[in-house]
């Protein structure tokens, strides 16, 4: 879809590519091996405007469109998928709901520094007993004067161990079910907040994924995000855009795996010729390239619809479903093309293979995306 890109979008894509290849690619394997959070690189991302890409300039952001965000996310994730998800969460799951549902005071206090990269955000919806069943919130919020008091735990929180600001969802009245869920802006310096543990993961190992505890955390009432009982709507609408971010991350992983496989097939020789000469390899490359391009078009379409103010929830689910499953397919085929070398950490496709797997799980599993898509078509 490059033929449809504006000059500005091409410039943003190139800027992201240059940054990714210079600042991320040389270190990605080491960060993955050591499970090292890329703090310096994230700081530079913020300075360049990549952590608040869609936020208006009046609130500290870059003011770019969603298509530009997809292009940048793809380039960043191709170099380091861990950095890609850090960027995605801050943009899609933290800045967007603050811009959409926040008061002017909340935007000035939290959105501006988050968009500038001066603070880092995390999105706290998942719990030990609330994964795909997100309405089953066990974290509670109780009103106490001019504060809310939060108690509970959150699971699998990206950026959780490094975040300064959290978007937290909690249940105020179990009898109201999803209508009793409220959203809150919580500062991690708050008394009673703690990082319980960090997950040991298969992939995206440089991105921290943490279990968080809230033990009597007092949140000022003016840090409630959105209307009373609107927390579940805030959560679900936020995830619609988040799915475009994860589809873009999957695109980046797929791109990196495909490019590595093509380069390797041209240079690796067996039976006296490059393996790219064999039809078995050619057909793999053809299938990989087709799924990558289809994923890219679906993702850009969802982004374009969002930019146009059109409904995009179904298209975001389609993009996330297809791109995530395509990324796993492409990365697996890349490992196969590399043969024994593909199973070694000396070559990048091993990391791409591990990183790809999570994209069809977080921010809504593939099964959940199919439920969303079917719901749109059958209503």
Which residues are the active-site residues?
A: 363
The 10 Å CB-count burial string (b at 16+, else e) for 3-14 is eebeeebeebbe
| C-alpha span between 348 and 363 (Å, rounded) | 25
| C-alpha span between 328 and 379 (Å, rounded) | 31
The 10 Å CB-count burial string (b at 16+, else e) for 89-125 is bbbbbbbbbbbebbeeebbebbbbbbbbbebbbbbbb
Interacting residues of 96 by C-beta distance below 8 A, sequence separation 6+: 54, 238, 241
DSSP string, 52-73: STTS-GGGTS----HHHHHHHH
| C-alpha span between 52 and 63 (Å, rounded) | 8
Helices (H) and strands (E) in the chain, counts: 13, 10
| C-alpha span between 202 and 156 (Å, rounded) | 13
| C-alpha span between 20 and 260 (Å, rounded) | 16
Instruction: Copy the structure tokens of residue 311.
Output: 């409904």
CA-nearest of 345, 325, 320 to 335 is: 345
């Amino acid at each position: 879809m490059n033929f449809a890109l504006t000059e500005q979008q091409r410039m943003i894509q190139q800027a992201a590519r240059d940054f990714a290849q210079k600042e991320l690619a040389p270190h990605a394997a080491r960060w993955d091996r050591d499970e090292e959070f890329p703090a310096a690189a994230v700081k530079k991302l913020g300075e360049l405007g990549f952590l608040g890409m869609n936020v208006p300039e009046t609130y500290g952001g870059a003011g770019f469109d969603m298509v530009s965000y997809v292009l940048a996310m793809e380039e960043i994730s191709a170099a380091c998928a861990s950095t890609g998800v850090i960027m995605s969460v801050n943009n899609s799951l933290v800045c967007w709901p603050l811009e959409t549902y926040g008061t002017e005071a909340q935007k000035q206090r939290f959105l501006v520094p988050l968009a500038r990269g001066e603070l880092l955000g995390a999105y706290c919806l998942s719990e030990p007993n609330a994964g795909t069943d997100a309405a089953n919130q066990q974290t509670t919020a109780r009103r106490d004067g001019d504060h809310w008091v939060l108690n509970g735990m959150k699971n699998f929180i990206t950026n959780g161990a490094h975040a300064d600001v959290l978007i937290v969802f909690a249940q105020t009245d179990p009898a109201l079910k999803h209508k009793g869920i409220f959203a809150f802006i919580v500062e991690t310096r708050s008394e009673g907040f703690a990082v319980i543990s960090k997950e040991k993961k298969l992939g995206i190992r440089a991105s921290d994924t943490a279990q968080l505890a809230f033990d009597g955390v007092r949140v000022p009432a003016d840090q409630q995000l959105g209307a009373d009982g609107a927390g579940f709507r805030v959560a679900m609408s936020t995830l619609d855009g988040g799915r475009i971010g994860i589809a873009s991350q999957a695109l980046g992983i797929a791109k990196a795996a495909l490019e590595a496989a093509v380069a390797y097939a041209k240079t690796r020789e067996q039976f006296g010729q490059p393996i790219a000469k064999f039809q078995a390899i050619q057909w793999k490359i053809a299938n990989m390239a087709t799924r990558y391009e289809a994923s890219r078009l679906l993702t850009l379409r969802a982004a374009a619809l969002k930019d146009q103010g059109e409904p995009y929830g179904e298209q975001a689910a389609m993009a996330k479903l297809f791109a995530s499953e395509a990324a796993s397919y492409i990365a697996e085929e890349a490992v196969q093309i590399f043969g024994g070398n593909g199973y070694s950490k000396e070559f990048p496709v091993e990391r791409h293979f591990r990183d790809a797997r999570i994209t069809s799980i977080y921010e809504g599993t593939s099964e959940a995306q199919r439920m969303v898509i079917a719901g749109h078509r059958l209503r």
